[in-house]
Structure 1
């Protein structure tokens, strides 16, 4: 009985047969690819939270003293109207309360490559709509940095140091951090801004027959920064600066107040002190203690292991 041999040409390309026929070439390719993989492994980035594109933006506006309906009608509705017609936007969600407006903007899922242009259009439209907002509105403010991730966190604490002293040293450490090559961003977390508070005594104000608004007007006029001109010389240009601004709590306490023909020091009728803002911003706590934390991230393309070794060497 005659047996027909299979026609290999009709069966198509056979990878196994080709590999057995060219064993030397296959071995060479395996060695090269293995070495390439070993070398590439040492350059892989290591991040607990990789970067990703977040297709959302929050727009916040403030109007002190306005009610929730006023914020909705005079601020939120006008800003949302300005956003109409932007093709990148999937939907917007707004929230209005007394003195504050918050708009969340979400893009379509297929707009990953157009996020930068979309946020440009949003900022442009809202900035054009600012002229329609009432006087006294603060903002709008934009936040689209939800996708930022940080590879290193450092916590600071200082027993026996005051808040301004500790803040000074932490800012110095942050400045040194930004000098390290490949550091892209350093963010302070948990810091609390300071303000000078003036708390009046109602009994003293009533006895003098003046109101807090009159005193506030005098304080604002004294601390106004205005140009005072300059003197043009032959070889020099000298700027004139008006003194009298407040740079310390003691200066504010000794400020003379003249209202309705009566002159007195501000410290005699009010308590003047420096303190952190109230209500405070979000704080950081590690092991039950409030601490300052700065988070840092490297530029794109730099391995986290190499970057972390530079941080440790600098510290």
Structure 2
């Protein structure tokens, strides 16, 4: 019995061999053109971090009132592999790990569901709990990092310039995300003199309560005239350090300027 000879078969079927060669070349060229060419390709990380704060709480209180409630609720997640938590006084961090079999396309919808599940039990947290906050953007990659410095500009002016540049960069094709790091937020510092407060027979808590009451946003009523409805707004909210400098406080039926017991300055956090 004569054995199969591939070379002899190819010589006797030249047309078919040429057909396969051309088809394979076309398929290879098509596959080459479809190859990803990102310098920093995206990849999916199946981990989320949930953080919450409760100033003044002990680690035991934080674990019992916040951490355990989050972890027990997440047990209802079908694609959950396991959770891991780190709890210290006043703060908890919960790591959520999905199963390896979870498809990449299902990861983002799963994180949305995690947010909704935690939002469902947010009302069960004690008063004073801040958050929870979520971080699931570990897979983001940055192709370029730019540093901005300035001579003669304040931190606020530099930030405004960078914000303007960010808005323009986002209009560039294929740019998906631009983050600004290291920004300095402006704040107004209210520094009390304990000596002056004691001399007037006051306490900081009463002063802060009076300031919060004046700066509160509350409905002030409406005027109804036929089909028209006009909202009434009361002025007096704090808009700058000048607003605080002009404040006269009333505590225990006594009036005095805020500047008598505090120094008001504008600075950076």
Question: How many pairs were matched up?
Answer: 266
Structure 2 residue 166 is matched with structure 1 residue 192: no
1:299 counterpart residue number: none
- In the TM superposition, residue 255 of structure 1 has moved relative to its aligned partner by 1.1
Superposition deviation, residue 125 in structure 1: 2.3
1:109 to 91, 100, 106: 100
SS at match of 1:184: coil
The alignment's C-alpha RMSD in Å is 2.8
Q: Give the corresponding residue for 2:90.
A: 99
Q: Give CA-to-partner distance per residue, 1:131-170, whole Å, 9 cap, x none.
A: 2211111111111111111223222111221111111111
**Aligned counterpart, 1:251:** 243
| C-alpha contact (below 8 Å) 1:53/1:112 kept by paired residues | no
Indicate the residue corresponding to 1:306 in structure 2.
none
Cα deviation, 1:231-286, whole Å, max 9, x if unaligned, reads: 45678654433211111112112211122233222222112222332xxxxxxxxx
**1:219 matched residue in structure 2:** 211
Q: Which runs of 5+ in 2 are unaligned?
A: none
Aligned-pair distance for 1:15?
Answer: 7.8
* Structure with the larger strand share: 1
Q: 253-262 or 243-252, which moves further after superposition?
A: 253-262
Q: Who is 1:89 aligned against?
A: 80
Q: Secondary structure at the match of 2:255?
A: strand
Higher relative contact order (Cα pairs below 8 Å, separated by 6+ residues): 1
Q: Distance in 2 between matches of 1:206 and 1:27?
A: 95
- Secondary structure of the corresponding residue to residue 156 of structure 1: coil
The equivalent of 1:139 in structure 2 is: 131
CA distance in 1, matches of 2:109, 2:31: 37
CA pair 26-128 structure 1, distance change in 2 beyond 3 A: closer
1:118 corresponds in structure 2 to: 110
TM-score of the two chains, using structure 2 as the length reference = 0.86
CA distance in 2, matches of 1:15, 1:265: 103
Contact in 2 for aligned 1:88/1:108 (Cα 8 Å): yes
Give yes or no for contact 2:155–2:184 (8 Å, CA) kept in 1.
no
Structure 1 residues without counterparts, runs of 5 or longer? 278-315
Q: TM-score, normalised by structure 1?
A: 0.74
Distance 1:130 1:266 in 2: 37
Q: Residue 118 of structure 1: CA displacement?
A: 2.9
Rounded to whole Å, the distance in 2 between the matches of 1:107 and 1:132 is: 25
